[in-house]
Amino acid sequence: MDLTFIQQNCYKHHQKKHTMRKSYEVLITVEVSLCNGEKVLTDSFSKVISDSQVK
| pLDDT, tens digit (0-9, with 9 covering 90-100), for 2-55 | 667 766 777 776 667 656 666 555 665 666 655 555 555 566 666 666 666 655
Which pLDDT belongs to residue 40? 57
Q: What is residue 23's predicted lDDT score, i.e. its pLDDT?
A: 56
> Between vectors from CA 52 to CA 51 and to CA 53, what angle results, nearest 5°?
90
Exposure b/e, 25-50, CB count within 10 A at least 16 = b: eebbeebbeebeeeeebeebeeebee
Say what the pLDDT of residue 12 is.
Answer: 76
The structural domain count of the chain equals 1
Total-model pTM: 0.22
* Host domain of residue 8: 3-54
The confidence score (pLDDT) of residue 38 equals 54
Which of 53, 52, 54 lies closest to 21 in space, CA to CA? 52
* Per-residue pLDDT, 25: 58
